[in-house]
Structures are given as C-alpha cells and as structure tokens.
Amino acid sequence: MSEQIPVYQSNHILTAAQLNQTWRSMCASQILGFVSATGLPKPEFNLGSLTTIVKGALVGDLLAREGSGIKVYTALGVLVDEIEWEDFVSNIKQATTTKLGTTLLDKYWIYGFVPTSGTDPDEDVDVSVGKALCEDGSTIVELTSTAGLSYPTLNGGALSNSTTYHLFRYLKDNATYGWHLDTSLTPTISDIESALAYRKIISLKTDASGDLREFIGINENNRINIRFKTALSAVNVLVNTSTFTYGAIEVPDLGSYNVYANITTNLTATAATRQVLAEDGLSGQSVLVAGATDSQSTNTYDFYIKTDETLGFKSVGGSDDIDVYLNGYYDFRNNF
C-alpha cells in the first residue's frame, strides 16, 4: 500500500499513520471497512446499498461497530450517522448478501444466545435471546430467537453417560424456528427441509452418571467462555522424563477440532530440579506449567486439548506426579 491514501469525502490526503491514528481515536471497537472507492483499504461496501441504510454515507467514510450500533465517520473523525447493529445487519444482509461472507459478517457471526445452567443443572440449560447467521449452502440465513430458551430437560432428561451433546437453533422453510439436540456436529434434523439452515449454540458433555456439570456462560464476542461452578476433580498424571504422558481431560468431543480449555495444574512434589512441561494439543509446542519452587507448583493456563481429549505432560529432572483440574472451556460455536 502506498504511504498516501486518498480520502475522497473530505478532499484531504492522509498518511497511513494518520489514518491508523484516526481509527484508534474514533473507535475503541471493530472497524468494518470503508464506503467503496478505488485506493481505499479493504474491505469495501457498495455506496448504493449503504445510502439506503445509513443516511449521509459518502465515498471514503469509515464504518465501525461500537457496542450495539454501527457508526459512520468521515476519515477525519466526524460522526456522520449511526444505526442499531441489528437493523444494520437485517438491511445489509438483503442489500449485499454476497458481501457478508467475506467482509461485514461471516457465517459464524452470532449475537446473544448465551447458555447457562438451568433450575436443575444436571439436565437443564437456559439460553438467552439472540441472533445468528447460518449458511445453507449458497446463501446466508438469519436465525433468530426473541424469547430465548428455557430448556426444562435436555432430551427429556435421558442423557447418556460421558456423552457430548450439541444444541442447535434451526430454521424450517424460512418461516419456523426450532431447537434440536444432537450428538453429531452435522445433525440430521428430520422436521426441517433438506437444505438445512442451522447453527450450533453450545456443546456440552455429561459426566459418568449422565449429568451435566453446572456452569455459567460468559459472552466473549463469537465465543462463549464456559466456566464450571466447581472445577472438575483432579486428573493425576504420573509424569515421565523425555516423553509425554497423556491424561484424559473431560471436554466435549468436537471430532477433528481441538477444544480450547482452561486448566489448573498442581505439581504434587517440588524437588529443587523439578519442572513439568505440557504439550499444546494444537501446535504441539511445550509450555512450562510447573516449576521448581512452591510458588510455581500451581498455575492456570489456556490450552488446546488434543482431539482425543487428552493433554500430555513430561518432566525435567526426574519423574513426578501432577494434578490437572478442568475449570472450563471456550466454545467457538462452529467458528473453528
């Protein structure tokens, strides 16, 4: 990109550094892109479509998402107009459908639909109201919920032991919305059309007794931070030197995808030369999780778990035991 970027709306020429500073000063959140003009950074949005949605938008203006709305600025930081995010999505989805997959939104965009344990945490899940986008093969379909879900019992309470369940929101015949529980990430939902339009809301795993673990869900943009009320009981791993020993971590089974989990490790002995390394399940890199002193014996980390739901450890300075506690995990809700 050249050092000078033409900004047509204001008839000013800004350097790249000045433009970056403008972004920071105007928007503490997400820059979506520019109203289209040759020479502007990508992504671009068609002016003809935007002017029917955001009044006063001109070529060269910046679009930014801030909180629950969209704001349009000139490149010099003057606020032009603003619109509620949901209204913006609803309109631009129809005006520039082909743009959604690569610029404004992709098929993984989701707003709300925050799950948490219900009245009976062993089998109940409540989901807040929300909106999401889902791809049915060629177009993007909006999935909505205005009432949320108070699911009194998942699967009528008949949940299998140590089994992963996925809760889906689906659309039937572009008219009727529903909920579906399945053990597969690619569900067969008999009561909707063959061109399935659905979105995974949450993946959960039952314990050895067929009960769900009590949790709260924290909304973090496109992912949900699942935190258990009580960390799962420790998995003890006898750690060997030079080679990794693997311990089972009770996270949901996402098939060929890695679960990103929050774990606490506790080295049961702290000999002067002890160090324990964990193997990240996605990158394969070794990370120091326990050191040689009491102050380093207990630590909390985010790790990608291997697809067979295990995490590996090895030690430096001799064999040892390490306890591993699962505090929760991050559900990216199909955005793998």
Tens of pLDDT, residue by residue over 76-102, are: 677 777 777 666 666 655 444 333 333
Please list, residue by residue across 4-14, b when 16 or more beta carbons sit within 10 angstroms of its beta carbon and e when fewer do.
ebebbbeeeeb
Strand order in the sheet with 245-248: 245-248, 310-316, 275-279, 286-290
| pLDDT for the residue 135 | 65
* pTM for the structure as a whole: 0.68
Write the CB contacts of 263 (distance below 8 Å, at least 6 apart in sequence): 249, 300, 301, 302, 303, 311, 324, 325, 326, 327
| pLDDT for the residue 49 | 59
Dist. CA 61–CA 125, nearest whole Å = 43
Q: What is the dihedral of CA 5, 7, 10, 12, to 10 degrees?
A: 20
| pLDDT for the residue 252 | 94
Lowest-confidence region among 20-24, 140-144, 261-265, 310-314? 20-24
Dist. CA 115–CA 111, nearest whole Å = 12
- Please state the length of the chain: 336
Domains in the chain: boundaries: 4-95, 110-228, 235-331
235-331: which CATH topology? Jelly Rolls (2.60.120)
Q: Does 284 have pLDDT greater than 80?
A: yes
Q: Does 225 have pLDDT greater than 80?
A: yes
